[in-house]
Amino acid sequence: MAKRITARPKLINKTAPKQAPGKLRIIGGAWRRRLLPVISAEGLRPTSDRVRETLFNWLQSELAGSRCLDLFAGSGALGLEAASRGASEVVMVEKSAAVHDMLKQNVQMLAASQVTLLQQDALLYIQKLTLPESMAFDIVFLDPPYQSQLLAPVMASLTLSSGTKVYLEAKKGDDIQVPANWLLLKDKLAGQIHYCLYEITN
């Protein structure tokens, strides 16, 4: 008698990451699907594909020709995505020397001439900005390390023009007090992440 073989169902890991470990994937624009190396560093957590897809759908009509500030650049997920999708200038600020060096290599690999990369403390950087410089940004990304306690002083020090969009990412449950002239446009939860898009209303 022939032996009966029953096929086992294929197990699907629904929690599997969307990208290879140690890699950042650009998800839209000129560099779509490009994979970039990401080093392991304390506090470094690239904004996920899911969150970035939602955020850049929100910003779709704002990006072409925009001037962006990525104040806690980290992996470069936000600043490089903005450059890929048509921003004319992206200033990326990163304090860590090791992370800055990784970003520098990735910027060179992409030949991203519209990206200005600075190794500097984010708070010191914005405190030194002149008003014309800070008010020229169209989009600002604020995604500091969760335990850094930097959001409050950074928001207090930023002077932005009316209409500027500000993306803010924080840990779910954190009590974030934004300035009175920041109008909430969109917000969502993704696991333990609360992410929001504001507009400055001077």
Question: What residue spans define the domains of the chain?
Answer: 44-200
Estimate the share of the chain in helix, then strand, then coil, as percent rounded to the nearest 5. 30, 25, 50
pLDDT at 43: 63
Closest residue by Cα to residue 117 from 105, 128, 126, 127? 105
pLDDT at 18: 41
pLDDT at 174: 87
Query: Kindly report the CA angle at 52 between 190 and 140, in degrees rounded to 5?
Result: 110
Average pLDDT, the chain: 88
- Which of the residue ranges 38-42, 85-89, 108-112, 130-134 would you say has the lowest mean pLDDT? 38-42
Across the beta sheet with 67-70, the strand order is 115-119, 89-94, 67-70, 139-142, 165-171, 193-200, 182-190
pLDDT tier, 10 (very low <50, low <70, confident <90, very high otherwise): very low
pLDDT at 6: 37
pLDDT in tens, 136-175: 999 999 999 877 889 999 999 999 999 999 999 998 888 8
Beta strand 182-190 with 115-119: parallel, antiparallel or unpaired?
unpaired
| Structural class in CATH, domain 44-200 | alpha beta
Give CA–CA dist 26/36, Å, rounded. Answer: 8
- Show the tokens assigned to 45: 């957590």
State the amino acid at position 81 in one-letter form: E
CB 73 within 8 A of CB 93: yes
pLDDT in tens, 94-142: 999 999 999 999 999 999 999 999 999 999 999 999 999 999 999 999 9
For the chain, state the CA radius of gyration. 19
pLDDT at 46: 77
pLDDT at 19: 40
DSSP strands (E only) in 88-200: 89-94, 115-119, 139-142, 165-171, 182-190, 193-200
pLDDT at 8: 37
| pTM, rounded to two decimals | 0.87
Burial of 70 (0-12, 13-18, 19+ CB in 10 A): buried
